[in-house]
A and B are shown apart, each in its own frame.
Chain A
Amino acid sequence: AQKVTQAQTEISVVEKEDVTLDCVYETRDTTYYLFWYKQPPSGELVFLIRRNSFDEQNEISGRYSWNFQKSTSSFNFTITASQVVDSAVYFCALSGVFGGATNKLIFGTGTLLAVQP
C-alpha cells in the first residue's frame, strides 16, 4: 500500500535552531514523486519541493534543504537557522501511478513546527 508517515506530530524549537522534519514513505511504484507542502496558520497549502524517484541528489534552497534516501525510503526536510515565520504545519506527500493513470497526492499527517522567539 502507498503510505506516508510523519512520526513527529509537533516540534518546538527556539529561533535560530536547526530542525529536521522526518518523512518515511511506502510505495510499490518504481516511478514516484515526493513533495513537501507548508500550511501556515492562514490555512493555505504552499508547495515547497518536488522530487522524482530517480533523482537522489540532495537539494538546498536558502535555509531549506532536503535529503532523499531511497535505501531507507525517507525524504527528510531540514530548516537551518529557523525563524518565527517558519511556524506552520509541514506535510510530506507521495504521488505516482497506483495501478492506473492517477496522480493523487497521499499526504502524511503533518508535523506542526512551532518556532519560539
Chain B
Amino acid sequence: DSGVTQTPKHLITATGQRVTLRCSPRSGDLSVYWYQQSLDQGLQFLIQYYNGEERAKGNILERFSAQQFPDLHSELNLSSLELGDSALYFCASSPRDVQYEQYFGPGTRLTVT
C-alpha cells in the first residue's frame, strides 16, 4: 500500500458526460501528479500540482482540468468524454520535487461507452 488513495476504483459513463476523479496524497506529500495509461499512448504525464499551485502541464487535453485543494487532495475533471478517454488514470504524490520518487495510487479505471 503506497499511502496514496484514489476514488472511485472503476467508473463507467457515456460519451459527452463529465466525471471527477479524486486523489489523496501520502501524508506530508506536497506534490500531486496525474497520469493517464492507455493502450495507444502508454503512461503519460498529465499535470502536476505543488502545494495548491499548478506546477507543470503535460499532454492534458483542454477538456480536462485539475486542482489541488488546501488539504492537498486533488481532483481531475474530465468533460465532454469521448471513447478514446477510456484509460487507467493514476495519481501519484511525492514530498517535493524532482529528486523524490513518486508513489502511485491504485488508479481509477474509466470506461466511456
Contacts and interface: CB of A to CB of B under 8 A. Distances in A.
B43 A91 contact: yes
B17 interface: no
Interface residues of B, number: 28
B87 to A, nearest CB: 12
B42 A104 contact: no
Nearest to B44: A107
Majority SS at the chain B contact face: strand
A47 B56 contact: no
A43 B56 CA distance: 25
Interface stretch (B67-75, B78-86, B96-104): B96-104
Interface in B36-53: 42-45, 48
A3 to B, nearest CB: 12
Given A43-B107, A45-B90, A104 B101 contact: no
A104 B48 contact: yes
Interface string A31-48: 101010100000111110
A87 to B, nearest CB: 18
B107 A105 contact: no
Given A33-B98, A47-B101, A95-B98, A104 B45 contact: yes
A110 B103 CA distance: 18
B106 interface: yes
A77 to B, nearest CB: 15
A46 B3 CA distance: 12
17 contacts: A31-B98, A44-B2, A44-B105, A44-B106, A44-B107, A47-B103, A50-B101, A52-B99, A96-B98, A101-B56, A101-B97, A102-B48, A104-B56, A105-B43, A105-B102, A106-B45, A110-B42
Interface of A: 31, 33, 35, 37, 43-47, 50, 52, 91, 95-97, 100-107, 109-110
Given A37-B104, A44-B105, A102-B55, 12 more contacts: A33-B99, A43-B106, A44-B104, A47-B102, A50-B101, A97-B98, A102-B48, A103-B31, A103-B48, A103-B99, A106-B45, A107-B43
